[in-house]
Structure 1
Amino acid sequence: MYYFEQNYDNIRYPKSNTKNTGLRNAQLGAIHAIAAFFSTRNDPALVTMPTGTGKTAVMMIAPYLLGAKKVLIVTPTKLVRSQIAEDFKSLVILKSIGVFNSEVDNPRIYELKRKYDYNKHRNFIKDCDVVVSTPQCALTISKDEEIRELFDFIIVDEAHHEPAITWRNILSNMVHSKKLLFTATPFRLDDKKIKGELIYNYPLSFAFRDGIFGEIKFIPVDIGKDEDKDIELAKVAEGVFFNDKEAGFKHCLMVRTKSRNEAQKLLSIYQRHTKLELELVDSSRTKKAVDETILKLKTSEIDGVVCVDMMAEGFDFPNLKIAAIHTPHKTLATTLQFIGRFARTNSDKIGSAKFIAVNDEELLIENKKLFSSDAVWQDLIVNLSDEKINNDEEDKEYLKKFQSQGNTIVNEEFSLFSIRTNYHARIYRTIKFDINKTFPDIDQIIEKVLVSKSDNTIIAVTSERKLPRWSTNDGVFTDVNYNLFVIHYQEKTNLLFINSHKKNEKIYENIADAFCGKNQYEKIIKSNIHRVLSNLTGFEIFNSGLTNRISEGESYKTSAGPDVSRAIDSSSGQLYSPGHVFCKAQSADANLTIGYSSSSKIWSSAYGTVKEMILWFDINGEKITNKKAEVKTHTNYDLLPMPKEMEKIPSNIFMFNYSENSYLNPHNLFSREQHLSNDTILDIDIKIQFDSIKDNRICLKAKYGSKSYLLCRDLAGRYSTSEKDELFLKVGREKLSLTEYLNQYPLLFFTSDLEVITGREITKSSSSLSAFDLNKIKRIEWANYNTDITLEFRSSKTMDKNSIQDTIGDLLIENEDNVYVIFDHSTGEIADYIAIKLGGNCINVEFYHAKGMSSKHFNSSVGDIYEVMGQCVKSLIWIKSKASFEKKIKERQKSGHCEFKRGTLDGLADELSKNIPMRGKIIAVQPSLTSSKNIPDKIGEVLSAVNFKINNSGVANEFIIWGS
């Protein structure tokens, strides 16, 4: 019979009380939980007991309780290894509290101080009952098949280290052993899962209730403007130490900082500015030197120590009661380990623990303001610890609800608990969601799909294999990337959240199509997604994007910095509306970051578990759908006009413009033979069918070459067509139909009062438009040039007539100031004519847009006005920069659409290369307009809007009309 089996009957369970020493409640609870668990299970078990509650005694009782044959104890440090080996060798702890009487034989202990060597260590290990080792040495035991078979029980101390690869390998190698893990903090600094089932948790609050931990006091230090933080902290620490000493307490001081260099600096500060006797303890010192310093502490030869993270684990000295925190820990796990060294009560002549720190905004632990002068510090510590442990257990229970769907191939070691992802999501509104649908084909290998029907959540892992950039040999080497997808449908709000680590518009849509049905969902409009900022305070906006509704000089303005809202003023609302925002703010109990964009996305800098992210989804989902939610950032960001949900499509739409992306990166068209063309999206002639604008749709006609067909844009901003043979464009590696393209890169529509329509939202203009100045309509004597004002350009059937374009050309050539005269024609044109004047230290570019008179009466052809005014505004994009203008001219000439009537392309290129600014002038050539007759309000509004937009564009300085 083995030693532990032989001595099982000698165990007693005396209960500690005011009269007798014995086992504490925490120890009794843990002991019985261990016995109960291993009576039916053989899985790894985890016991949580705060530092100082007596887990060493429980660790020593466990082998007797389970009748172990041979025990391997793995400890994190040499210091802890030696302490446990000594305690186990003498059983002094268990005998002193009455668990064993003095006659019980002590176990044979072997402290393995070197990596396992067969010849040196085999016999010692075979002859002992317990081996105590650090991870590096224990790993060598676990790799030896013969010696590891001798052990049937492994105890891991400070198990929050367990997910580290060395610890994990030890447990994996010792397949046939029972495994018992102990920790004071059952959560890792890196959020990895401790691989053991939590069978007993003694809350920190109970340690205070049962008197195991004493009172904790926080002493805040306020620093004046010209005062040195470290010096002031040192002086306060000195005062606290000597006050405690006068009160009869035998207290010692620990000065905590973040690095060895800082520790050396602080030691010098304390020596110069206080009378305290301190020594430095850091990782560069030998164990012998550290032991000597600890002995000096215990014998009161010194008053305290300056250290970084030494003595955090395994150091039991109840008289260590004062902590001067020059640099606080940032995580709860390390904070609790630290506090546990100061809160113990098992010594004479000690009082409450005292923590001294500067009371400033940097002192946060896991985003919670722990160091606060108005905080009940002890309660905060307790609540944080209990909340963290409870959350971890809730996470485990939550993840148990996920079931695998279909055949999956991810390694079985894959654990949902190991997922820590940053919070972000594309959001759609839908009333139809089917969780039983199959995860869609997104051109990746589907590795694993897990489904939780209890809260409509799907987790998918996919992989994609690509050639490295340096390889052209197919299939020899490939890079493998894994992508995570978390899909959650919030039934209460009808919102679908898609968290995709592969951010691609097509992937988002494929997923939504799969689970909601094609066209059964829509993006969230900006005014609704803006509500994620509701119920928050203390905003600091450090990244924002502003959409310029008027200017073409800068269509989207991105700002980043400490508080970019300061750059917004009351006039900003005349030009800009919100595009995206990312900010820091405060909720009721924590600091947070939150951002949103007009593309129906929200995000945060936070990382968390799947359960935490789903909770984040749900919180923000309820905000988004709360129609009563009000957002006030109390910053200048509030000055920007927020788009509103569009109830119906306005009838006074007069033009559209392409998305910024379409101009910056014009995607190429496929020809009718499906060959890639040099023509782009800008070469498609798209026109609004003004007479068919309804409350819920806009019809457009797309024409390219001989092909033309109708498109419809609905109230939500989705494009569709009944045409089966659409135009197609190349976008990346994909081939998209025109409707698919416009759904991805939607058009912007403008009304005659400069409202802007994007998606289902409309942004009201805060600008007041003045009446159009009729003096801007220049009368042209068309009859003098024998011009047919109903004819925009000549064709084979009208060769005997002089068109409007002909007359424009003649007038521009007559003017000798025009150094360059360019005729541009067909779809995708910059303008019908371009005239360029030089001089005055400026390159003056004039765009002439012509439209024939289709009505019988002057100032009555609304359709003609809308079309030519839309062309005028669209052409502003080509004078944003000299480079883009030159590039466009070259492309048009290469395709045969652009002809120099005066000057040459090379000459123009030389002029544009000079360091001279370029300014634009826009001329609408519309003979149906005249200043001699009354202009109807509908036309007048459009003229005013175009005049305002051009004059405030930042790229053109004048707008005039050539009329009659």
Structure 2
Amino acid sequence: MEVLLPPMKAFEVAHRCGPIEQLAQPATRHIATVAKYTNGSDKGHLVTGTNGDVVAYVFAKPPVGAFKDDAPVLVAKGLGTEIDDADLRKGYWVQHPHNTAQQTASARDAALSSWINAFQFTNEASSGGRPALRSPQVGALHAIHAHWSTSIEVATVVMPTGTGKTETMLSTLVSDRCSRVLVIVPTDALRTQIANKFLTLGLLKAANNAVLLEGAHRPVVGTLLKKPSTIEEVDTFFGPCNVVVTTSQLAGGCSSDVQAQMAKQCTHLFIDEAHHVEANTWRDLKAKFSLSRVLQFTATPFREDGQLIDGRVVYIYPLRKAMAEGYFRPISFSSVYEFDVARADQAIAAKAIEELDSDITGKHVVMARVANIKRAEAVFETYRAFDRFEPVMLHTGLSSKARTEAIQKLESGQSRIVVCVDMLGEGFDMPELKIAAFHDIRKSLAVTLQLAGRFTRSRADLGDPVFIANIANLDVRDELLQLYAQDPDWNELLPDLSDEAIADEVGAQEYMRGFDRSIDSIPLKDLRPSASTVIYKTTCANWTPRAFRAGLRGLKARDKVLVTINERENTLVALTARETGVPWTSISSVTEWHWELFVSVWDREKSLLFIHGSSNSSEFKDVAKAIGGRDVVLIADPQVYRVLHGINRLLLTNVGLDEHFGRQIRYTGRMGADVAARLGDATRQSARKAVVAGAGFENGTPVTIGAAKRGRVWSVLRLRVDTFAKWCRHLATKIVDESIDPDEVLKGTLIPKIVAARPEQHPIGVDWPLDFVSRQEHQVGFVPIGRSEVSISDVEFNVLDGPLTEPLILELRCDEWTRQVLLEIFPSGDTTDYRFSYVGAGQLDVRTGASGGQDLCQYLTAHPPTVWFADGSSLEGNLLVELPRAAPQYDTDKLQVLDWSGIDLTKESQHATRRTDSIQFRLLEQLRKKTCYAVLFDDDDAGEAADVVGIKVQEDGNQRRIEVEFYHCKFSSGQPGSRVDDFYAVCGQAQKSLMWLFNKEKTTDLFAHLLKREERRLAKGLATRFEIGDKATLARVRELSRRHEVRLSVYVVQPGLSKHGASAPVRVLLGATERYLYETYQVPFIVVCSS
């Protein structure tokens, strides 16, 4: 039978702050024979090993008789000759041959002494079959010792989960003979696990191992469970220990005096799972260990919040190598594709059950991961309905007893399914976890890599891991999108993602490490200067950043100036602190410190010096002279306005003018709608531009930019020091470009103005509010009173035709209902205001994200949609933006002719019945002949992206590009000619197409939109929307869109236009549409017509 025996402790001290222990022998497992045994009046059992040696004398109560000093005598219940196996680990030893009865004070020193020359760097490849270190462990140890031989800088070791980080810690403790180590972990569970590892020394104490001599003692380990309240309590707890293990939350919550004493007591600080977010209190504690050797272990050298981990990465064991060398088992990925959450849960659970059924080992366990307790309860019921494998639930809302019982069921094999809320991460060591059912997906790569390691650990009696997830509604960070594609190979993607992310982080760290060590007390990685700078022209051959202090006027003896320089990147970072009085008293002894951040970048090639000061209080001329030479020249008006070059449709939001009144100059500034009046004044000779700021598009990407006449440039961004330097160098390229005329740049800006009435122009379309556009479609819905919600993907939003002098009426329409709202502009004091109100009966609520409903008219009043007009102008509430110059007329040579013979030009849609005499049918007929489309899709109906969507996947060497074509069809009111009325609506639809390019997520959401539209069409029993391709092809395109470029082309199909008869009004309207599409997202615009 198998018998499990408890550990033998050399001693155990019950301190108020937690146990202090040293093991003489860990818990052991024996194949043994059990026989009844009597010693005088004591009756128990004798446990004998396979070699006949006595393993233990076991009694249910303490024996009264005498035994030899080296006899192993155990008190434990539950042993008998009639049972198969016995777990006696809850018992205790009365005596044991390894009981040395040492005092705690001498035990720590004895352990340290026993480690002298006791450690061998033996690789398992050369150990002759004896237990030894893995290749990555040996590599990490050598890297750690090499680093410590030259530096006390924080060291980071990157090893994928499952490759032996903990054993590397143990080996570092013994090989470096660390006098006293504080080990910090993120969770209570991991504290218990790591403390037990240090108590046993793991592999280092394995029988016949080739690493540590048998005479080496195990360390004295203190598990810190409660905060020490005094310095004396720190000393009494830490003093006897070789190792203290605790959590970052507990240690970070201690008083400053207690933390300082902890640091004084410890020669080393080990941090496990260093990718976790650092709280300010924990950072303060870490800073107190500046004189200790600090070693960080992590599977990913970047934190969950995207911030850099400090210190030097001294060793990286790539995930790719871990897979190749068998430490990571290969992963299979199985997906479901359901937009409905309940159906997705059912499908994922069914696949997880299938995997358990096909598991030939009979040991695999499913972890069903959910985001919160409410979801856990719902998903648990889904699994319980299968009435298989006795599922259990684990989350923080359960009692400690309930969690313990659940874990026992998992460990015994009674249960093979666990539904959990982030409970089975660090600290839960269960190799049988092999099936990950992601009902809710982790959003960051750091956590995903960590979680993956829980399932990929290799063990001979277990199979390979399987990951299951729903890939229909994804909300994850960009770096994870590839993992949840249609047919991903995690065994290729995970190493790629890990390598790329690590390379990015190490690159950023290397940039930061290029700075000298002058201000180590300030972590540069945590600095986030705003994108704001003044710019100077320099003539020096070399700048002199070390003279920075000389450029600061009025420094006092007590003021502080901290400077660090990256010579390679020509970048300076400085922090200054000036002691100043306070405004509420004149008492000289009452002062405060005013801190300011400076970042300066010198572009040697372009001879430009950039200076950022967090106060934005001056031009920093003295600083510029000190570090750039006495002859520096401020880049001022008009040259500074070159930074606006290349920004299309720059909508001004802030204009400041210097106006001359005789010898006096008065500055006036306007923001928002007032810029129209101010910039109008700039045409007078008495006014000059002082500040210009706005938002627009650069290279198809939304940007913000501002420039002031005295050399200051800014953007609404917060940047790391390295990315701030890149931003400055981008500006430098424009500043030195002599071909850029600043005055011409400003002529193309857009100017909003408040109006008292809608413009007397023909409206051609309306865009959803920006708040809608920025969200994925499943996050926006409309709810009529007493009726079910309708997704925005099934709702049409239009502006109705009407007299050009009457208020605008907007219409929302779907298959079930129609609602109309009126935009009313009315006087309000010296200006005007606006509001939306219903036309007719029927209220409508709007749902955005997880928030409850809000009345539609209230919502639109707070988030006004944009109405577009035929002349290219737009109205948002009561703000009108007109084009500064008319768009050129559309070139008739670009008009493409299609044969419309046999087509009824008054029939636009083919409908689900495929009307063969419709405009849409003929268009699709012609497009199918091209044979270049992966997908050709009929999206016609309320809520459409376009009447027809064509998708091509282009291969260019190793690069892929997705080309999307939107075809907006419009019926004609008569025979081909040139009626401008036939174009208003369709040009509005063309302009609305740009909503799908708002950001990367919205572009990918286009393909989800099409998939949902097909699903709903089929649910009604109607014909498929696919003309070419199928659901699987479109789903693959959707996944490709997450990591490849998507280009859009927009077509207007209007057979009512004759190529040779296009009138000037029609060409003006088409020209305005073409200009808008190109100047924003550089989208080509093509018109299809009749001959």
TM-score between the two structures when normalised by the length of structure 1: 0.52
Give the AA of the match of 1:4: L
Tell me the alpha carbon deviations over residues 116-160 of structure 1, each in whole angstroms, 9 at most, x when there is no partner: 479999777655543333346667698399887665444332334
Aligned to 1:89: 199
Written as runs of structure 1 = structure 2, the 5 A alignment for 1:583-622 is 594-597=703-706, 607-618=718-729, 621=732
Q: 1:179 to 1:520 in 2, by over 3 A?
A: closer
Q: Provide the C-alpha distance between the structure 1 equivalents of 2:640 and 2:212, rounded to a whole number of angstroms.
A: 72
Kept in 1, the 8 Å contact 2:132–2:203? The answer is: no
Q: In the alignment, which residue of structure 1 is the partner of 2:325?
A: 210
1:292 match: secondary structure: helix
1:489 and 2:489 correspond: no
Do 1:73 and 1:130's aligned partners in 2 also have CA atoms closer than 8 Å? yes
The gaps in structure 1 that reach 5 residues or longer are 534-540, 549-553, 560-577, 587-591, 629-642, 651-657, 661-762, 769-964
Match runs of 1:339-378 below 5 Å: 339-346=452-459, 348-360=461-473, 362-365=475-478, 371-373=484-486, 376-378=489-491
Mapped partners of 2:465, 2:323: distance in 1: 12
SS at match of 1:255: strand
**Change over 3 Å in CA distance of 1:11–1:457 after alignment to 2:** closer
Residue 280 (str. 1) matches residue 382 (str. 2): no
Q: Are residues 1:16 and 2:155 paired?
A: no
Name the stretch that deviates more: 174-183 or 137-146.
Answer: 137-146
**Other-structure match for 1:459:** 573
Once the 2 structures are TM-superposed, how far is the Cα of residue 210 of structure 1 from its aligned partner? 1.9
* Contact 2:184–2:246 (CA under 8 A) maintained in structure 1: yes
1:296 to 384, 401, 409: 409
What is the alpha-carbon distance in structure 2 between the residues aligned to residue 86 and residue 649 of structure 1?
69
In 2, the alpha carbon distance for the partners of 1:58 and 1:166 equals: 28
1:317 paired with 2:437, answer no
Rg larger for: 1
Structure 1 counterpart of 2:521, from 413, 419, 436: 413
Find the partner of 2:340 among 201, 212, 228. Answer: 228
* Partner residue, 2:358: 246
- Equivalent residues of 2:179, 2:242 under 8 A apart: yes
Deviation at 1:216, TM superposition (A): 3.4
Hey, what does 1:580 align to over in structure 2? 694
1:164 Cα deviation after fit? 4.1
2:225 maps to what in 1?
113
Using a 3 Å threshold, how does the CA distance of structure 1 residues 369 and 349 change in structure 2: closer, same or farther? closer
Residues 1:648 and 1:616: Cα distance change in structure 2 (over 3 Å)? closer
Alpha-carbon deviation of 1:53? Answer: 1.0
Query: Structure 2 vs 1, CA of residues 136 and 361 (structure 1 numbering), >3 Å: closer, same or farther?
Result: closer
Tell me, which stretches of 5 or more residues in structure 2 are unaligned? 1-108, 657-668, 675-691, 754-882, 889-1091
Relative to structure 1, the CA distance from residue 659 to residue 166 in structure 2 (aligned partners, 3 Å threshold; closer, same or farther) is closer
Counterpart position of 1:200: 315
1:159 aligns with 2:274: yes
Deviations 1:859-916 (A, max 9, x none): xxxxxxxxxxxxxxxxxxxxxxxxxxxxxxxxxxxxxxxxxxxxxxxxxxxxxxxxxx
Change (3 A) 1:57 1:626: farther
Opposite residue 886 of structure 2, the aligned amino acid is S
Match of 1:27 among 134, 137, 143: 137
C-alpha distance in 2, partners of 1:246/1:614? 56
The separation in 2 between residues aligned to 1:244 and 1:603, in whole angstroms, is: 58
Conserved? CA contact 1:332–1:365, under 8 Å: no
Within-5 A mapping of 1:429-828: 435-436=543-544, 440=551, 447-463=561-577, 471=584, 473=586, 480-494=593-607, 496-503=609-616, 506-507=618-619, 515=628, 517-519=632-634, 529-531=644-646, 545=653, 580-581=694-695, 594-597=703-706, 607-618=718-729, 621=732, 645=742, 765-766=885-886
Q: Report deviation, 1:166.
A: 5.0
TM-score, normalised to structure 2, is 0.47
Change (3 A) 1:524 1:367: farther
Which residue identity does 2:337 align to in structure 1? Answer: D
Q: How many angstroms does 1:65 deviate by?
A: 0.6
Structure-2 separation of matches of 1:13 and 1:312: 30
Instruction: Name the CA distance, whole Å, in 2 between partners of 1:171 and 1:459.
Output: 23
Report the CA distance shift for 1:581/1:129 in structure 2 as closer, same or farther (over 3 A).
closer
Aligned match of 2:111 = 3
One-letter identity of the residue aligned with 2:343:
I
Shift of 1:510: 7.3
Contact 1:424 1:602 in 2 (8 A): yes
Displacement of 1:389: 3.3
Partner secondary structure for residue 159 of structure 1: coil
More deviation, 395-404/312-321: 395-404
Distance, in Å, in 1 between the alignment partners of 2:329 and 2:731 is 41
Q: Is the 8 A contact 1:238 1:275 kept in 2?
A: no
Residue 181 of structure 1 pairs with residue 292 of structure 2? no
Which of 60, 63, 84 does residue 170 from structure 2 map onto? 60
Q: Which amino acid aligns with 1:25?
A: S
1:546 touches 1:579 (CA, 8 Å); kept in 2?
yes
- Aligned to 2:367, the other structure's residue is in SS state strand
| In 2: Cα distance, 1:191 partner to 1:603 partner | 24
CA distance in 2, matches of 1:326, 1:624: 52
Q: Secondary structure at the match of 2:161?
A: coil
Q: 1:178 to 1:326 in 2, by over 3 A?
A: same
Query: Is this contact kept in 2: 1:216–1:355, CA < 8 A?
Result: no
Residue 332 in 1 paired to residue 445 in 2? yes
C-alpha distance in 2, partners of 1:121/1:62? 24
CA shift in 2, pair 1:476/1:435, >3 Å: same
The reply on whether 1:79 has 2:189 as its aligned counterpart is: yes
SS at match of 1:507: coil
Higher mean Cα deviation, 438-447 or 334-343? 438-447
Are the aligned partners of 1:429 and 1:521 in contact in 2 as well (CA < 8 Å)? no
Secondary structure of residue in 2 paired with 1:198: strand
Shift of 1:90: 2.9
1:374-401 Cα offsets, whole Å, 9 max, x none, are 6654444333433443444444443344
Distance of aligned partners of 1:647 and 1:173 in 2 relative to their CA distance in 1, 3 Å threshold: closer
Q: Give the conservation status (yes or no) of the 8 Å contact 2:334–2:466.
A: no
CA contact (8 A) 1:16 1:23 kept: yes
Q: CA deviation at 1:12?
A: 3.9
- Secondary structure (helix, strand or coil) at the match of 1:36 reads helix
| Alignment partners' CA distance in 1, 2:542 and 2:464 | 62
**Partners in 1 of 2:316 and 2:746 — Cα distance?**
61
Secondary structure of residue in 2 paired with 1:284: coil
2:725 counterpart SS class: helix
Cα deviation, residue 83, structure 1: 1.7
In structure 2, C-alpha distance between the alignment counterparts of 1:331 and 1:607, rounded to whole Å: 21
Is contact 1:35-1:65 (8 Å) kept?
no
**CA distance change for structure 1 residues 170 and 493 in 2, over 3 Å: closer, same or farther?**
closer
With over 3 angstroms needed to count, the CA separation of the structure-2 counterparts of 1:304 and 1:579, relative to structure 1, is same
Change (3 A) 1:199 1:278: same
Q: CA 1:453–1:147 in structure 2 vs 1: closer, same or farther (change >3 Å)?
A: closer
Change (3 A) 1:429 1:27: same
Q: 1:230 to 1:379 in 2, by over 3 A?
A: farther
Show CA shifts across 1:914-962 (max 9, x none): xxxxxxxxxxxxxxxxxxxxxxxxxxxxxxxxxxxxxxxxxxxxxxxxx
2:170 alignment partner AA: M
Q: Does residue 383 of the first structure (1) align with residue 493 of the second (2)? A: no
Mapped contact 1:74–1:135 kept (Cα < 8 A)? yes
Q: Residue 311 and residue 513 in structure 1: after superposition, are their counterparts in 2 closer, same or farther (change >3 A)?
A: same
Helix, strand or coil for the counterpart of 1:398?
Answer: helix
Secondary structure of the corresponding residue to residue 502 of structure 1: coil
Alpha-carbon distance in 1 for matches of 2:560, 2:236: 52
